[in-house]
Structure 1
Amino acid sequence: MNAEVITEGLAFGESPRWHDGRLWLCNWGTGEIVAVDKDGRGEVMLTVPAVLPYCIDWMPDGRLLVVSGREGLLLRQEADGTLVTHADLRELSRSPWNEIVVDGRGNIYVNGGGPAPAPGEHFGPGTIVLITPDGTIRQVAENIAFANGMAVTPDNKTLIVAESHANRLTAFDIGGDGGLANRRVWADLGNGFPDGICIDAEGAVWYADVPNRHCVRVREGGEVLQTVDADRGCFACMLGGTDGKTLFIVAAEWRGFEHMISDARTGHVLSVEAPAPGAGYPSYSSGRR
């Protein structure tokens, strides 16, 4: 499968979400949250007080959430456009937070964090925390091998997380209180390094892979169904478009963590027709459930 470039000139695109008819993404290194239309025209929707990592999703009432990763804060945009603190995660970890997904019941999952990294490492073992609709914050998983993309199945019963450094997608059952249990390998990816992920209506997962420069669709158990190759690292993917069957990929040239903040603008948004529409969460249909 070959993808076409619809937008270029980004720094590092991350956390793509389909919302209100456009692809929203975080342009790491700039603090910008950008919305891109079907013709590739981009608009800066918000500038946040974070450089990287930061990521986005929406509450069921349509308010935008932004994880300010290094600051350890989950921010919420109010109706007047101001950002306020929705949850303070600093007591749970001083390491950077990375990804967010909000399920259909309004439970918010944020990953990253965890113990301090070992010497020479950029990230320690990751955790997943839950922020429930009543504001309660608690850790629900630990020892995630470089916690990356997350997605929740349409029935709100399973959370899937990309463990980049373990070359696998890991699943948890979601309890009635939002807690996670029955941790298991959803797919062993061999030499795959999963980053951002999304689910489709056939129950398959698309994962982006930076070192292998592609985006791969797999079913539970690890069978590879489709592969989209790129000429640079693929950081995350999202299904969207009018029928939910356009796969958007954010890609950029990878030169190491120490070069993530620079004047280089090698970031692209790619698109390709997918065999099945998006499903589950992050939601492709809109920001509202």
Structure 2
Amino acid sequence: MNKWLAGFVLAATFATGAFAAPPGATVVADGLGFPEGTILANKVLYFVDYQASTVNKLDESSHAVLKKLPGCGANGLVVVGGNLWVACYDSGVIERISADGSRLGSIDHSRDGGSFHHPNDLVANRRGDVYFTASGDLPGSGKVFFVPKSGDIAQEVASGINNANGIALSPDEKTLYVGESGADRVLDYQIGGDGTLHSAHTFAQLDSLAPPPSVGRHTPDGIRVGPDGSIYIALFNGGGSWILNSKGALVKTLDVPGEHHSNLAISNDGRVIYVTSISGSSGRIYRLSPLPN
């Protein structure tokens, strides 16, 4: 999510199927304010609505608001040990809730006592360690934090990022990808054995990758990695979603209706993708299946 949303609050409702979708796409959630944080777990789609600050779940038979978190500004989600961690963009904390919505506690400061400025997105490795971005409140003040499975203490592992946003791990969990929305690029870091980050590198400068006739900014928001190592990027600016290969080359563009696209989720086999879409004060989630070749 981008910073201009921090003070933008509108009422939102949750429904399904009210908008027409392009060929190959289906609207699965509609009437939202600002959908974000899409993740798939055991065939359940979890997501947040930033405007309503709710955590939602959607499966094949039902949809529900799992938890409302007033003042949080719910933005990013990740499943850790069967529980959900929520990045609270407005209140500056990481909330933890159970699968039934019960609150389990929160993390509100780093090891050195510092606060989190606009926590944005999260990712967990197979061991249960968590990385999350904090977008920052000034250009260049974005950071990445690491929370080991063994404790609740967040350690700063990267800084100097211009609006730190989406975050994802490579399949071998040796590389961390971070969206730098203020610079329209994706960074990558090598991960040390202790979880720390090294060798910051520009993985992809998105504006320079844009195919004609696309012009203007191409701003990364949510980032996911597919089972084959491809990097999927929801574009807040620039339309829809892009797929890059592991070398950072653009291999596919996915057109999705809407002015802005904040996040996405990918099935385990890589054949289904869910993409959030926002136009004005209206948000929805599209399901694309199967993905075009």
Aligned match of 1:270? 286
Q: Are residues 170 and 177 of structure 1, via their aligned partners in 2, closer, same or farther at CA, if it must alter by over 3 Å?
A: same
Alignment correspondent of 1:238: 265
Amino acid at match of 1:212: G
Unaligned runs of 5+ in 2: 1-22, 208-216
In the alignment, which residue of structure 2 is the partner of 1:26? 48
Q: Distance in 1 between matches of 2:251 and 2:99?
A: 42
Distance in 2, matches of 1:80 and 1:198, equals 25
What residue number does 1:282 align with? none
Q: Match for residue 286 of structure 1? A: none
**SS of 2:149's equivalent?**
coil
Give secondary structure in 1 for the equivalent of 2:182.
Answer: helix
Percentage identity across paired residues of the two chains? 26
One-letter code aligned to 1:45:
L
1:104 aligns with 2:104: no
**Cα distance between partner residues in 2 of 1:168 and 1:50:** 30
- Structure 1: unaligned runs, 5 residues or longer: 118-122, 255-263, 277-289
Q: For 1:238 and 1:81, locate their aligned partners in 2 and report how far apart those are by CA, in whole Å.
A: 21
CA-to-aligned-CA distance 1:95-145 (integer Å, 9 cap, x gap)? 22111111112111111154x42xxxxx65200011112223210000112
User: CA-atom RMSD, angstroms?
Assistant: 2.3
Residues of 1 paired with 2:231 and 2:36: CA distance? Answer: 17
1:45 aligns with 2:66: yes
> Match of 2:104?
84
Whole-angstrom CA distance in 1 between matches of 2:115 and 2:194: 22
The structure whose RCO (Cα within 8 Å, separation 6+) is larger is 1
Count of residues in correspondence between the two structures: 257
SS of the counterpart of 2:237? coil
1:248 aligned onto 2:268: no
Give 1:155's aligned residue: 172
SS state at 1:210 partner: strand
- Asked if structure 1 preserves the Cα contact closer than 8 Å seen for 2:94 and 2:119, the reply is no
TM superposition shift of 1:37? 2.4
Q: How far did 1:79 drift?
A: 7.3
Aligned match for 1:178, one of 191, 195, 202: 195
Would you say the 8 A contact 2:223–2:264 is kept in 1? yes
The answer on 1:224 being equivalent to 2:250 is: yes
Change (3 A) 1:144 1:87: same
TM-superposed CA distance for 1:160, in Å, is 0.5
For the pair 1:134 / 2:156, whether they are aligned, the reply is no
Asked whether the 8 Å contact 2:227–2:270 carries over to 1, the reply is: no
Query: Which amino acid letter does the alignment assign opposite residue 100 of structure 1?
Result: L
Q: Give the ranges of 4+ consecutive aligned residues of structure 1 lying more than 4 Å apart after TM superposition.
A: 78-81
Alignment-mate amino acid for residue 38 of structure 2: P
Distance in 1, matches of 2:24 and 2:250, equals: 16
Moved more, 128-137 or 217-226: 217-226
Is 1:17 aligned to residue 34 of structure 2? no
1:6 positional shift: 2.4
- Deviation of 1:274 after TM superposition, in Å, equals 5.3
Counterpart of 1:237, as a letter, is L
Judge conservation of contact 1:53–1:96 (CA < 8 Å) in 2: no
Cα 1:94/1:175, change in 2 over 3 Å = closer
Deviation at 1:199, TM superposition (A): 0.7
Aligned to 2:212: none
Change (3 A) 1:11 1:74: same
The whole-number CA distance in structure 1 between the counterparts of 2:106 and 2:247 is 37
Amino acid of the residue matched to residue 130 of structure 1?
Answer: F
Q: Do 1:3 and 1:228's aligned partners in 2 also have CA atoms closer than 8 Å?
A: no
CA deviation vs aligned residue, 1:72-115 (integer Å, no higher than 9, x gap): 2222225774313342227423522111111112111111154x
CA distance in 1, matches of 2:290, 2:115: 38
TM-score by length of 1: 0.81
Farther-moved stretch of structure 1 (16-25 vs 44-53): 44-53
Residue 201 (structure 1) aligns with = 227
Write the letter of the residue equivalent to 1:247.
I
The 8 Å contact of residues 188 and 221 in structure 1, kept in 2 or not, is answered as no
Relative to the length of structure 2, the TM-score reads 0.80
